[in-house]
Amino acid sequence: MKDVRLLTEPFNPGAFVGPFSNAHPGLGGICSFVGEVRPGDGVEALELRHYEPLTLPGMDALADAALDRFDLMGLLIVHRTGVLLPREPIVLVSAAARHRRDAIQAVDFAMDHLKSDSWFWKREKRADGWHWIEPREQDHADLARWQEKITQV
Amino acid sequence: MKDVRLLTEPFNPGAFVGPFSNAHPGLGGICSFVGEVRPGDGVEALELRHYEPLTLPGMDALADAALDRFDLMGLLIVHRTGVLLPREPIVLVSAAARHRRDAIQAVDFAMDHLKSDSWFWKREKRADGWHWIEPREQDHADLARWQEKITQV
Amino acid sequence: MALKLVFLGRLADAAGGEEREVAAVPSIAALIAGLEPDLSAALGGPRVKIAVNGNIVADRAMFTLRDGDEVAFLPPVSGG
Amino acid sequence: MALKLVFLGRLADAAGGEEREVAAVPSIAALIAGLEPDLSAALGGPRVKIAVNGNIVADRAMFTLRDGDEVAFLPPVSGG
């Protein structure tokens, strides 16, 4: 089961993971990652903008790539857009599989791609106003891990 | 925060993950894995036996090793013992961290060690009675991944 | 006889808004050249990708625009 | 003057129970030799680890047992 969603309002990850888990009665393991707006560093709010014609199809294609690459029973991707406050969940990825390695690796794969390869533009609000967040080198290094693996196989 | 528990009764993973997440207000991400008794293959029940003087100290030492190895804010390990029915959760590992890679890798590390390096003996009940489960080669290969990394560093 | 332009991320600041309409022109080069010089410079860089009607343009020099097209300017996405 | 023996995993089947008490003997070799031949063979293998009072015994040939010790026999743990 593939379930990919963009949400404009705050969400409770448990309210998605519970039904997702119940939808796969044959699973052996389920791995979930929740990313939250990290408090501190003077950040008062985070805004995520996206471009509808690219963002949701891109997330859907990423889910297909993970389902194709790992032996999964289901994959859930939930991503916020709009203005978020510190501690609000930004992203939830949950993978259900017969075996734990597939579930854990699929979450790792999906998060690396969501972070660096998906169509979101972010800006932070600080005391002196809004500031756009630039790409990070670490994200590209994270993504390269999966490309190397393809070459090695 | 380190929280390591052996439980003799069925548990709801969400009831542990929620409070664990709330206990770390500065986190950036939380990764959780839940392993369940996989239904099918004619398995009617699974029994996990342990040896109290070794099992809980072993899990505690594993948690310390993960906290030492990865940049975590907290680690939660919950493991069932006794007789379990198909679909009941056996194990929950949850790691809270500032950055996602530490959280995901800590869960991967803890699960590999729990599966192959902790003091649990398991037997399955089938139509013809109880059968002890032998060690698996795959578990040793999973564990070796972390030892190689130590050598490489 | 118009094109709809969409500016993502910091390009919305450079354009003074997230969207605008301009008169239709046949090429992306002509479209960019017709905008304010600062915005034109910001959009023309190699790191800015362009999507037309939701599809990324592979070769912007060869691409022909048509009346009613939605042209989106996409700067590098933000890090995690 | 007794030792408490604990048998884990399939060794409990071989011993006919998870625990038993035996008269104290000074060495692990003497302890194992004093049991039924089938059980003795099952416990003596190199893959069976031994814990005394909750500590794994590194060198069983050199280990001296004391009255009241709890001796646990630990076969390889089960796979995932």
Q: Which domain CATH number covers A47?
A: 3.90.1170.40
Q: Kindly state whether residue B149 falls inside one of the protein's structural domains.
A: no
| ipTM of the prediction | 0.88
Q: Kindly state whether residue B19 falls inside one of the protein's structural domains.
A: yes
Condensed to tens digits (0 to 9), the pLDDT of residues B15-29 reads 999 999 999 988 899
Give the residue from chain B lying closest to A106, CA to CA: B104
How are strands ordered across the β-sheet holding A89-97?
A2-7, A72-80, A89-97, A29-36, B29-36, B89-97, B72-80, B2-7
Q: Kindly state whether residue A25 falls inside one of the protein's structural domains.
A: yes
The CA radius of gyration of chain B, in Å to the nearest whole number, is 16
What is the rounded CA–CA span in Å between residue A17 and residue A10? 15
Query: Which residues on chain A are in Cβ contact (under 8 Å) with B30?
Result: 33-34, 36
- Where in the sequence is the domain holding A18, given as residue range(s)? 2-144
Q: Kindly state whether residue B94 falls inside one of the protein's structural domains.
A: yes
Q: Kindly state whether residue A105 falls inside one of the protein's structural domains.
A: yes
What is the rounded CA–CA span in Å between residue B104 and residue B72? 10
What is the rounded CA–CA span in Å between residue D74 and residue C58? 64
Condensed to tens digits (0 to 9), the pLDDT of residues C31-66 reads 999 999 999 999 988 889 999 999 999 999 999 999
Average pLDDT value for chain A: 92
Strand positions, DSSP E, chain D: 2-7, 19-23, 49-52, 55-56, 70-74
- How many beta-carbon contacts under 8 Å exist across B and D? 60
DSSP code, position A153: -
Chains B and A touch (3+ CB pairs under 8 A): yes
Q: Who has greater pLDDT, B38 or D71?
A: D71
Query: Which residues on chain A are in Cβ contact (under 8 Å) with C57?
Result: none
Which residues, 6+ apart, have CB-to-CB distance to A91 below 8 Å? A33, A34, A35, A77, A78, A79, A80, A111, A114
Q: Kindly state whether residue C79 falls inside one of the protein's structural domains.
A: no
- Where in the sequence is the domain holding D48, given as residue range(s)? 2-74
Q: Which domain CATH number covers C30?
A: 3.10.20.30
Query: For residue C80, what pLDDT is reported?
Result: 63
What is the rounded CA–CA span in Å between residue B51 and residue D8? 7
C76 CA: distance to closest CA in chain A (Å): 7
Q: Kindly state whether residue B153 falls inside one of the protein's structural domains.
A: no
- Asked if D29 and D63 touch (Cβ cutoff 8 Å), the reply is no
- Asked if C31 and C21 touch (Cβ cutoff 8 Å), the reply is no
Give the three-state DSSP class for A21.
Answer: helix
What is the rounded CA–CA span in Å between residue B71 and residue B62? 15
Give the bridge partners for D55, in sequence order: D52
A129 has a chain C CB within 8 A of its CB: no
Q: Kindly state whether residue A151 falls inside one of the protein's structural domains.
A: no
Query: Which residues on chain A are in Cβ contact (under 8 Å) with C80?
Result: 35, 115-116, 136, 138-139
Query: For residue A35, what pLDDT is reported?
Result: 97
Q: How far is CA B49 from CA A153, B2, B3, D71, in A?
A: 39, 24, 21, 17
In A20-39, the residues whose Cβ lies within 8 Å of chain B are: 21, 25-36, 38-39
Give chain D's domain count.
1
Which residues, 6+ apart, have CB-to-CB distance to B90 below 8 Å? B35, B36, B37, B46, B48, B79, B80, B84
Give the residue from chain A lying closest to B19, CA to CA: A14
Q: How far is CA A136 from CA A116, A142, B88, D66, in A?
A: 8, 10, 41, 62
B104 has a chain A CB within 8 A of its CB: yes
Q: Kindly state whether residue B24 falls inside one of the protein's structural domains.
A: yes
Give the global pTM.
0.90
In B38-97, the residues whose Cβ lies within 8 Å of chain A are: 38-40, 87
Q: Answer whether B103 sits within 8 Å of A27, measured CB to CB.
A: no
- How many beta-carbon contacts under 8 Å exist across A and C? 60
Residue A7 in this model has a pLDDT that exceeds 70 = yes
Give chain B's domain count.
1
pLDDT band at D46 (very low <50, low <70, confident <90, very high): confident
Condensed to tens digits (0 to 9), the pLDDT of residues A11-26 reads 999 999 999 999 998 8
- Asked if C52 and C70 touch (Cβ cutoff 8 Å), the reply is yes
Residue A152 in this model has a pLDDT that exceeds 50 = no
